[in-house]
Amino acid sequence: MITVYGIPNCDTVKKARTWLAEHGVDHSFHDFKKQGVPTDHLDRWLKAAGWDTVINRKGTTWRQLDETTRAGVSDVASARVVALANPSLIKRPVVEWADGAITVGFNAADWQQRV
């Protein structure tokens, strides 16, 4: 089973979920806002994709953090702490594919090769 993690009102998550539905790909959705960020999954994402990919440093949530917090995010451990406190910092969607692969963000061309 494929699991899509994100926030339902995120435009990129909407595009990704629509793409999966249009391609007949069965999946479940995990809402960060309602269900939180599962720490064991976050640890896998950070290991698989790297903290600099998982943390969205271009978004509004990042810009709203104080300078000290932003400057303190420099490795997996610090990224993990900030992501757990601010789930909107996680680049979306994070997808755990049936084969165990993890992707961050949405790219239709890449996804086409997975399904």
Kindly list the catalytic residues: 10
Alpha helices for 5-93 (secondary structure H): 11-22, 32-35, 39-49, 51-54, 60-64, 67-72, 76-85
Q: How far apart are the first and last CA of the chain?
A: 12
**Using CA atoms, how far apart are residues 95 and 57, in angstroms rounded to an integer?**
19
